Amino acid sequence: SKTPVRVAVTGAAGQIGYSLLFRIASGEMLGKDQPVILQLLDLPQAQKACQGVIMELDDCAFPLLAGVFATDDPDTAFKDADICLLVGARPRGPGMERSELLNVNGAIFTVQGKSIAEHAKEGVKVLVVGNPANTNAYIARQAAIKVGRTNPANYHGMLRLDHNRALSMVAAKAGRPVDSLRKMAVWGNHSPTMYADYRFCTVDGQSVKSMINDEAWNNDVFQPAVAKRGAAIIEARGLSSAASAANAAVCHIRDWVLGTDDWVTMGVPSDGSYGIPEGIIFGFPCECKNGSYKIVQGLEIDAYSQEKLNKTLKELQDEAEAVKSLL
Ligand code: NAI
């Protein structure tokens, strides 16, 4: 049988963790023949809750769960990890300024990026879910680069939830099953400035844009609906999206590790593609094969799209500027 894959999950006692851990342990992320060891990190005050989650994981008797432990020490949690899912983050408190939020989280992700680079496997794949996801990933990556050892290309931020939201909305508008849709792209920051780009989408090789044939829909309905989906869920549920966020993390890692025959949106460090400065963690359409990913190249960026890209890039550059002193 296969050697277990070590998956570290931070914020393990939180809402997303409560959905995510069970799906990893059941084999949905890495395959039904791949044993996993879960290494849970959370704050000292959440250790008791982590033990409760471990009791429930035990009670599922998952055949693929080869081990699980919880700790409040990052070095222990990331030790020999093959995959790190950085979910835990400090939420925005009442009256907290955005710059303050960036800085508190910056401190967390500096420590964790360094710890991962020192203790995880050299080929570790890192996905940051905790918000602000792109900038937290940027900080973790910069901290990791200082240490060396791990691959700087493997520090990602999560835009897959935005991608999946866009897929679902476009499929509904086109009146086609969601799994018949191909080639969705979401560009930029995981924030309301993201650009959900359905111009390249196809169903059975046909252009979805010409199928929908409604220019105003994109601007007046689709763009704001994707951008405000997170807020709409908080409004309806009284809590932020958790099961769908966990699902997106499962999709991101599954596709990265196992490959895909479609485009998937990943927040990856730019290599300069599409004029996005190197190192900025930016949502791009990617293709995955043999455990690595490639940014889809050569897509036409029209004037409308360029304006959208500029806006979301500007926001990311402002965030990077705000955390500069931490790097
Ligand atoms: P939650 O508040 O239920 O859980 C967060 C957990 O993280 C708590 O158990 C907390 O103790 C822990 N934590 C805080 N600081 C930590 C640290 N330094 N080390 C380890 N653990 C730490 O929050 P929830 O709903 O699970 O969301 C987690 C994060 O994911 C939030 O930042 C949220 O904004 C973000 N999110 C991102 C999405 C995306 O698409 N990128 C979608 C939805 C949520």
Mutate to test the pocket of ligand 1, among 9, 10, 15, 16 (most ligand atoms within 8 A of CB): 16
Interval 187-206 mean pLDDT: 96
* pLDDT at position 99: 83
* pLDDT at position 98: 79
Q: Quick one: tokens of 161?
A: 């939830």
Ligand 1: does its nearest atom lie under 6 Å from the Cβ of 82? no
What CA dihedral angle connects 210, 212, 214 and 215, to 10 degrees? -60
Mutate to test the pocket of ligand 1, among 41, 42, 265 (most ligand atoms within 8 A of CB): 42
Q: For residue 12, report the distance from its CA to the centre of ligand 1, in Å.
A: 8
Mutate to test the pocket of ligand 1, among 129, 159, 250 (most ligand atoms within 8 A of CB): 129
Q: Quick one: tokens of 291?
A: 């455990």
* pLDDT at position 60: 98
Give, in order, the Cα–Cα distances in Å from 10 to each of 72, 130, 174: 9, 9, 38
Alpha carbon nearest to ligand 1 atom 10, residue: 11
Q: How far apart are CA 272 and CA 134, in angstroms?
A: 16
Mean of the per-residue pLDDT values of the chain: 96
* pLDDT at position 12: 98
Give, in order, the Cα–Cα distances in Å from 258 to each of 40, 233, 254: 23, 30, 6
Model pTM score: 0.98
Ligand 1: does its nearest atom lie under 6 Å from the Cβ of 288? no
Per-residue pLDDT tens digits for 36-62:
999 999 999 999 999 999 999 999 999
CA-atom Rg of the chain in angstroms: 19
Q: Which of 156, 163, 190, 252 is catalytic?
A: 190
How distant is the alpha carbon of residue 176 from its chain centre?
Answer: 26
Catalytic residue check, 119:
no
* pLDDT at position 159: 98
Q: Quick one: tokens of 154?
A: 């493997």
Alpha carbon nearest to ligand 1 atom 39, residue: 129
Ligand 1: does its nearest atom lie under 6 Å from the Cβ of 137? no
Q: Is 17 annotated as a binding residue?
A: yes
Q: How far apart are CA 294 and CA 274, in angstroms?
A: 13
Ligand 1: does its nearest atom lie under 6 Å from the Cβ of 245? yes
Q: Which amino acid belongs to residue 96?
A: M
Q: Which residues contact 123 (CB under 8 A, 6 or more apart)?
A: 82, 150, 151, 154
Q: Quick one: tokens of 115?
A: 């710890």
